[in-house]
């Protein structure tokens, strides 16, 4: 009943760290900094041992793909020998860790291009790492770190702790990690894969590049804490299914519901109304949220900006739901009793993927054709796709909820009766129900 409080809604329990004691602990990054002070001498150059799984020649790597943080997560785990393994399909291979990152972070279920750092933090902590701390070369950032301090922190992480450093590069690599250094840190060794859409032949082999002059205002680095727990793959898939449900719940019934509506409404506007709306709010609903230059006086400049913002939207949405389907498909191995339900869920998210990839995208092409996008009938069909996309996500939520209810253990009837009674019983103020 609308407005009533749900009782005993069965869910898969989230894996959460145990509460810390009342005594505050020193943040791990401060402990690292203190340890670093006692490390007087680092070697002039150092490379971390490679513990990655070697992929046979001739195999094509389907991930890394479009998501840099998921690639970085995968690269970090794989290089240090902590990865969740590879899945082969003829001459293609998929990295489980990439798919896991896309799901556990919540990225694959997003209804829009928006994404936040807290999702990345959630990913690393959920799989057992104590911290994920990011520092910036921009002196205006509260987590500013000087070039010398960055060098010392990287050397300490690599040489003393045997942990790679995550340093996103302003390049076409789509995610990379630092596995070593030369010349006392003036030269860094970057480890990455080329995405499959850039190098179709033999792209599964990792690349190592040397970069110098790496410190500038756009530089950032992330230090990963120690790993205190290691979830099994069954734990990961259990957590992931719950995460899919929770994120879709927020999309359909929560704070993110408006993104579908704003996107659809925007596409149904006239060209002039769309230009005026973007000038008013400074972003493109349903588009990649690039920086809108208020100095754009010419309407055609704004229109090109709108088209450019929509250029990869359909592709991103299709890609995200594809990885939800991929994750669900992998889960079947660990939940044999749910095989039929998982197969149906897999098929559904492939259908959702095709709404954007096969229908929305074909209307305007890649890149978006300005002339075609200007046609109202084309935008109306695109808006219809967004509406169907939202309905498909809603159906996906219902399917996941039903699946989790069938999997979660039912509360014994006597406990359910006690819980219902506790909700209606008026107790003296000095008593409480816990």
In this structure, the answer to whether residues 54 and 186 fall within a common structural domain is yes
Would you call 158 exposed, middle or buried from its count of C-beta atoms within 10 A (0-12, 13-18, 19+)?
buried
In this structure, the answer to whether residues 218 and 138 fall within a common structural domain is yes
* pLDDT for the residue numbered 24: 38
In this structure, the answer to whether residues 191 and 58 fall within a common structural domain is yes
* pLDDT for the residue numbered 254: 87
Alpha-carbon distance of 85 to 100, in angstroms, equals 11
Identify which has the larger pLDDT, 247 or 305: 247
220 and 134 in contact (C-beta within 8 Å)?
yes
CB atoms within 10 A of CB 432: 7
User: Mean of the per-residue pLDDT values for the chain?
Assistant: 80
Instruction: List own/partner pairs for 209-215 with CB under 8 A and 24 or more apart.
Output: 210/182, 211/169, 211/187, 212/186, 212/187, 212/188, 214/167, 214/188, 215/137, 215/147, 215/150
User: Which segments of 80-228 does DSSP mark as H helices, in order?
Assistant: 96-104, 117-126, 147-155
The answer on pLDDT for 188 being more than 90 is: yes
Does any domain span residue 51?
yes
Alpha-carbon distance of 369 to 367, in angstroms, equals 6
Domain that holds residue 137: 28-224
The answer on pLDDT for 352 being more than 70 is: yes
CB atoms within 10 A of CB 59: 17
Q: Based on the structure, what is the number of domains in the chain?
A: 2
Alpha-carbon distance of 344 to 279, in angstroms, equals 43
Does any domain span residue 415?
no
Least confident of 44-53, 297-306, 310-319, 332-341: 310-319
In this structure, the answer to whether residues 292 and 336 fall within a common structural domain is yes
In this structure, the answer to whether residues 200 and 314 fall within a common structural domain is no
Reported as a single tens digit per residue, the pLDDT across 51-77 is 988 877 777 766 556 788 898 999 999
The angle, 0 to 180 degrees and rounded to 10, between the axes of the packed helices 117-126 and 68-79 is 20
In this structure, the answer to whether residues 220 and 254 fall within a common structural domain is no
Does any domain span residue 88?
yes
The pairing of strands 60-61 and 92-95 is: parallel
56 and 24 in contact (C-beta within 8 Å)?
no
57 HSE (CA, 13 A, CB side):
0
Reported as a single tens digit per residue, the pLDDT across 30-41 is 555 555 555 568
Structure tokens at 92: 């293609």
417 and 366 in contact (C-beta within 8 Å)?
no
Does any domain span residue 412?
no
Q: What are the strands, taking DSSP E only, across 124-266?
A: 132-136, 165-166, 177-182, 187-192, 207-212, 220-224
In this structure, the answer to whether residues 358 and 395 fall within a common structural domain is yes
Alpha-carbon distance of 251 to 259, in angstroms, equals 8
* pLDDT for the residue numbered 214: 93
In this structure, the answer to whether residues 200 and 269 fall within a common structural domain is no
Tell me which of 203, 224, 245 is where a domain ends.
Answer: 224
Structure tokens at 428: 């003296």
Most confident of 12-26, 249-263, 295-309: 249-263
Reported as a single tens digit per residue, the pLDDT across 126-170 is 999 999 999 999 999 999 999 999 999 999 999 999 999 998 765
In this structure, the answer to whether residues 51 and 147 fall within a common structural domain is yes
* pLDDT for the residue numbered 290: 59
* pLDDT for the residue numbered 111: 82
Buried b (16+ CB within 10 A) or exposed e, 184-219: ebeebbbbbbbbbeeeeeebbebeeeeeeebbeeeb
Least confident of 144-153, 384-393, 409-418: 409-418
In this structure, the answer to whether residues 248 and 220 fall within a common structural domain is no
Tell me which of 185, 203, 224 is where a domain ends.
Answer: 224
Does any domain span residue 355?
yes
Identify which has the larger pLDDT, 19 or 65: 65
CA quadruple 391, 395, 396, 401: dihedral sign: positive
In this structure, the answer to whether residues 185 and 334 fall within a common structural domain is no
Which of 29, 27, 93 shows the shortest CA–CA distance to 56? Answer: 93
224 and 75 in contact (C-beta within 8 Å)?
no
Identify which has the larger pLDDT, 60 or 382: 382
- Dihedral angle at the C-alpha atoms of 254, 258, 264, 267, nearest 10 degrees? -160
In this structure, the answer to whether residues 175 and 308 fall within a common structural domain is no
Residue 210's pLDDT band (cuts 50, 70, 90): very high
The answer on pLDDT for 398 being more than 50 is: yes
* Cis peptide leading into residue 367 (ω within 30°): yes
CB atoms within 10 A of CB 408: 16
Does any domain span residue 351?
yes
Using DSSP's 3-state secondary structure scheme, residue 4 falls into coil
Does any domain span residue 428?
no
Alpha-carbon distance of 233 to 83, in angstroms, equals 11
């Amino acid at each position: 009943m609308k407005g009533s409080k749900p009782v005993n809604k069965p869910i898969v329990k989230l894996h959460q760290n145990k509460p810390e004691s009342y005594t505050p602990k020193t943040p791990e990054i401060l402990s690292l900094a203190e340890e670093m002070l006692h490390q007087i001498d680092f070697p002039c150059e150092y490379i971390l041992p490679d513990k990655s799984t070697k992929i046979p020649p001739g195999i094509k790597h389907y991930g890394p793909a479009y998501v840099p943080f998921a690639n970085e997560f995968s690269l970090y785990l794989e290089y240090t020998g902590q990865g969740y393994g590879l899945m082969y399909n003829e001459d293609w291979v998929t990295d489980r860790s990439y798919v896991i990152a896309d799901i556990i972070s919540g990225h694959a279920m997003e209804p829009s291009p928006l994404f936040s750092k807290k999702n990345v933090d959630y990913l690393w902590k959920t799989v057992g790492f104590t911290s994920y701390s990011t520092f910036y070369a921009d002196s205006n950032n509260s987590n500013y770190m000087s070039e010398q301090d960055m060098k010392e922190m990287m050397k300490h992480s690599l040489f003393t702790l045997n942990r790679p450093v995550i340093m996103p590069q302003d390049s076409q690599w789509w995610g990379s990690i630092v596995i070593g250094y030369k010349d006392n840190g003036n030269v860094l060794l970057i480890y990455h894969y080329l995405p499959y859409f850039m190098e179709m032949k033999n792209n599964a082999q990792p690349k190592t590049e040397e970069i110098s002059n790496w410190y500038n205002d756009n530089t950032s680095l992330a230090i990963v804490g120690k790993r205190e727990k290691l979830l099994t793959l069954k734990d990961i898939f259990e957590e992931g299914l719950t995460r899919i449900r929770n994120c879709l719940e927020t999309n359909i019934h929560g704070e993110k519901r408006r993104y579908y509506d704003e996107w659809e409404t925007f596409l149904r506007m006239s060209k002039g109304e769309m230009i005026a709306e973007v000038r008013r709010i400074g972003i493109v609903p349903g588009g990649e949220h690039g920086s809108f230059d208020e100095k754009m006086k010419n309407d055609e400049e704004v229109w090109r900006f709108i088209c450019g913002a929509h250029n990869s939207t359909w592709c991103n949405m299709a890609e995200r739901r594809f990885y939800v389907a991929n994750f669900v498909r992998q889960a079947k191995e660990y939940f044999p009793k749910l095989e039929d339900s998982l197969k149906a869920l897999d098929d559904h998210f492939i259908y959702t993927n095709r709404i954007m990839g096969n229908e929305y995208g074909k209307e305007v092409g890649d890149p978006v054709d300005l002339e075609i996008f200007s046609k109202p009938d084309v935008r109306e069909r695109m808006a219809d796709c967004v509406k169907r996309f939202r309905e498909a996500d809603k159906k996906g939520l219902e399917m996941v909820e039903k699946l989790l209810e069938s999997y979660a253990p039912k509360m014994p009837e006597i406990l359910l009766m006690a819980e219902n009674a506790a909700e209606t019983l008026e107790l003296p103020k000095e008593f409480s129900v816990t």
